[in-house]
Amino acid sequence: MDSNNGKPTKLWDKGIETNKLVEQFTVGRDREMDAFLAPFDVMGTMAHITMLQSIGLLEKSELDTLLAELKKIYAVAEAGNLKIEDDVEDIHSQVELMLTRSLGDMGKKVHSGRSRNDQVLVDMKLYLRHEVKQIFSLVSNLYKTLIELSNKHKDDLMPGYTHLQVAMPSSFGLWFGAYAESLTDDLRLLSAAYRIINQNPLGSAAGYGSSFPLNRTMTTKLLGFSDLSYNVVYAQMGRGKTEQDLSFAMAALAQTLGRMAMDMCMYNSQDLGFVHIPDEFTTGSSIMPHKKNPDVWELVRGKCNRIKALPTDLTLTISNLPSGYHRDLQLLKEQIIPVISDLKECLILAELMLKNTEVKKGIMNEPKYQLAFSVEVVNKLVLSGVPFRDAYKQVAFDIKNGKFKPETNIHHTHEGSIGNLCNDQIDRKFADVAASFDFESVEAAVAKLVK
């Protein structure tokens, strides 16, 4: 089939009909996954042909015509309306087919100096860069909510636990602030992954460069990348490594979210009752009319456990592969793209649930939490001159013999304690890591290219 006649053809077609079962198996879920890559594939093509014109492989009039058509295609893709036809292998083939249908032989010139290998590399880097920005924004929203709740509830005490047993006094301010600071460290990993992602592989072709005098620095600037993946073999080796590096940051975020979800499931239970989730944010039972289940938090916990498995999944896919391209790498898209959607959804729902959760006051006044103040009594004795080990034994003796009297007037002042949350310092840490992302320069480059 000839794309001159407006019919789909494979970019690698040599006139030999591929076995249908083989074709279905090798294409796999590419059409489904490539729908996420559509606007980024168009961006990569726009940058590439601009560079081709600069080295004499396109006329200026051809470039202008191609860019005008690509901007139309980009608008369709950006709106989520670019469909990959059933007989078309992937997004790269679809875009070239659309150009050829509209512009004839001119549309066939856009592939000079590149391969589908570096096309999908740059598509994935642009897509992942975009998704990191989305994740960062959602993490920022959740962080702000946690800090606000920490400040609001800094004086609301709750029991702290070790070994799932009541240990020492804590506070909701301390609990909310802990997860805020955890997100700050998670963002450090995300920032490192972002810097790896934000390097340009375009021009590496099939992994061994091109005899055309490509200007890879030019496409780097056009696409807003901070640097190049210079060595073309390494650029190709970045397929899978890039996804793996990002997956570690995603798993760290999932660990924070999953642990918070588990806490909220426990704190919402009738046995503890530390928090109240309004009815409209819970689900019910088909036979027990009293049930108000924290299903959102349970699903967040379950999804985050799956997200934490992503680094292992990706590692197994790329294990034992030599350098160069291999079709195994196609599977990476269907591993990471749906999980990114899951992570974003968990971040959105976690913020929603926290904003609508009520904190119970006066929890530590309940008699069952009296022993949580044992360390306060020990410390009071130490401050009066009793050696710590003697004070410890004395309080242990009183507890054993039912003579213990709690010291509920707690006074913690050191950095990061109940009376000194250091949320301002945590804000500073968050601002420092947030500044390591250069989203503004990326947005400016992309806007200039596509608009």
Active-site amino acid positions: 163, 285
Per DSSP, 416 falls in state T
Q: Can you give the length of the chain in residues?
A: 451
Per DSSP, 358 falls in state E
- Phi/psi at 157 (nearest 5 deg)? -75, 155
Contact 223, 126 (CB under 8 A): yes
Determine the Cα–Cα distance for residues 70 and 72; give it in Å rounded to an integer: 5
Which is nearest to 97 in space by CA: 6, 1, 30?
6
Per DSSP, 297 falls in state H
H-run or E-run covering 160: strand 157-162
Which is nearest to 256 in space by CA: 324, 322, 190?
190
C-alpha 71, offset from chain centre:
28
Determine the Cα–Cα distance for residues 280 and 292; give it in Å rounded to an integer: 9
Helices (H) and strands (E) in the chain, counts: 16, 6
- Phi/psi at 4 (nearest 5 deg)? -60, -30
Determine if residue 134 is left, alpha or beta; phi over 0 gives left, psi from -120 to 50 gives alpha, anything else beta. Answer: alpha
Contact 51, 218 (CB under 8 A): yes
Q: How buried is 13 (Cβ within 10 angstroms: 0-12 exposed, 13-18 middle, 19+ buried)? A: middle
List 275's β-bridge partners, or say none: 359
* C-alpha distances in Å from residue 225, one per residue of 63, 195, 198, 348, 442: 22, 9, 5, 28, 7
Per DSSP, 38 falls in state H
Around Cβ 77, how many Cβ atoms within 10 Å?
A: 23
Contact 389, 378 (CB under 8 A): no
Indicate the SS3 state at residue 168: strand
Indicate the SS3 state at residue 145: helix
